[in-house]
Structure 1
Amino acid sequence: MTALLAGGESPIGLAIAEALARDGHRVVGAGLAPCADPVYTRYETADLSDPERAREVVATALDTLGGLDVLVLATAAMPVAPVTATTDEQWHTALRATLDVAFNLCRATLPHLRRAVVAVGSVNSFLSAPGLPAYAAAKGGLDALMRQIALEYGASGIRANVVAPGLIGGEDLENAAEGYPVGRTGTPRDVGEAVAFLASPAASFITGVTLPVDGGLSIASPAAYLRPDLRARFPRIPENRT
């Protein structure tokens, strides 16, 4: 089994590569920054928002691996500014890092792909947070692109899905975790395991979906955590459960 992973130098990218390798994939990684992690059969430093470089990386992956079963898209940029303060460069940076990379790689890979595309999206594509218009728009576009691929290429045996992480790490984990029903924020491994599942034959009847990997964040009403009277209704489970 083989995979091409874009965004492979990030903590999430490395966790995805490790999960795929554990499941038997040989992985070619690619990204803006160099990476010498031995989990990769080969790693290419490249700006994948450039269509020509994307085609070159896909050709290298096909030559190195002898074919491609899985494409994983895990690139992003997150400029922070309200809509009226977002610059042209911030807007286009976010779109290039997510949508241009995804489109370029899918266009080059789909004629050769044998199983699945899995994209790393975000809960910000369907849950709004202040200051993230460019990032949210890019991730929302990624959801739509994967649904389109799922529809058009399903009969060819190719599935396309998105994992949508909530907060992965963070500077104030203790306070941030209060809004998550599972009581913690996420880890790169949480994302990696979800991607590996959707990339695997075990998910052969799942396509066109956006799977929240968010510890229940997207099911919780903010009022449940902001109103003391509602917070008091949560059951108190003894910590020494067996």
Structure 2
Amino acid sequence: MARPGTPETALPGVPETARKVLIVGGSSAIAAAAARAFADTGAAVAGVALDPFDAPGYAATRAADCADPAQAADAVHWAHAELGGLDTVVPAAAVMPVAAAADTTDAQWRAAIDVTLGSAFATCRAALPLLPRGAAITMVGSVNATLAAPGLPGYAAAKGGVEALTRQLALEYGPRGIRVNAVAPGLIGGGDLPNAHEGYPLGRTGTPEEVAAAVVFLSSAAASFITGTVLPIDGGLSIASPAAFLRPDLRARFLPDAP
């Protein structure tokens, strides 16, 4: 287990100046795209997921359940030792049970909160003592934190907690030079869903690579004066009035020449 302040790089070929990144929930489409995007910048990336996995962009991977605080702490110290330091953390683990509130089971509620919010908190709590000045934490939130959708009470509550945690940590650790931000993706993919693009002003859903680009930006020196923010990556969904956008009669009234 690595100790704070031990900069030795365990993995061969990782320059001391390379960004050293831990992604939790690393096997998801967004996380995997973020790993590739970070690697393209020269960063060394360690990934953790519930089950063993291997994917391009990762210098090292392992299985761990970061909803368990002990496993989260162990994973953080493993990444610190493997990479020879740690300066970027991306908590991206999530589960999304789909059920109306009255039908949501205790197990579904606990899974949504523990995996989505609990793993983010446990990972950050373990990582913060190891992070140097200039480090960044970039959470993966969701538009569902602020935009209600049927059947997602646990997921929405957990992602709302992720946003609140982002602001809290940004305030507390800003004086140490640690920035904390979040991205809030809209629907990513959705090619198998009929009319998935409806409601998106850009007329389409997003891609994992588009979310990954924002994660890399917020984690980089280019965003050095940005902290405590939640950046929507949603094709304009969060600024659209569902009634005005979706109802043909209202669209015709306000924008008679609109498609």
TM-score normalised to structure 2 length: 0.88
Whether the 8 Å CA contact 1:173–1:185 is kept in 2: the answer is no
Whether the 8 Å CA contact 2:198–2:246 is kept in 1: the answer is no
* Aligned-pair CA distance for 1:225: 2.4
Paired residue for 1:83?
Answer: 101
Is 1:167 aligned to residue 187 of structure 2?
yes
- Structure 2: unaligned runs, 5 residues or longer: 1-18
Whether the 8 Å CA contact 1:224–1:230 is kept in 2: the answer is yes
Query: RMSD of the TM alignment (CA)?
Result: 1.4
Is 1:34 aligned to residue 57 of structure 2?
no
Paired residue for 1:19?
Answer: 37
Paired residue for 2:12?
Answer: none
* Aligned-pair CA distance for 1:202: 0.4
Alignment of 1:1-242 (within 5 A): 1-114=19-132, 115-173=135-193, 175-232=195-252, 233=255
Given the superposition, is the C-alpha separation of residues 203 and 81 from structure 1 closer, same or farther in structure 2, using an over 3 Å criterion? same
Whether the 8 Å CA contact 2:184–2:232 is kept in 1: the answer is yes
* Aligned-pair CA distance for 1:231: 2.6
* Paired-residue identity, %: 58
Given the superposition, is the C-alpha separation of residues 159 and 175 from structure 1 closer, same or farther in structure 2, using an over 3 Å criterion? same
Amino acid at match of 1:136: A
* Aligned-pair CA distance for 1:38: 3.7
CA distance in structure 1 between the aligned counterparts of 2:197 and 2:184, rounded to whole angstroms: 17
Give the count of matched residue pairs: 237
Whether the 8 Å CA contact 2:90–2:139 is kept in 1: the answer is yes
Query: CA offsets per residue over residues 166-219 of structure 1, 9 Å max, x none?
Result: 001125455121211111101111110110000000001111111110000000
* Aligned-pair CA distance for 1:236: 5.3
CA distance in structure 2 between the aligned counterparts of 1:226 and 1:55, rounded to whole angstroms: 46
CA distance in structure 1 between the aligned counterparts of 2:187 and 2:101, rounded to whole angstroms: 22
* Aligned-pair CA distance for 1:234: 6.6
TM-score normalised to structure 1 length: 0.94
- Structure 1: unaligned runs, 5 residues or longer: 238-242
Matched residue SS, 1:162? strand
Amino acid at match of 1:35: F
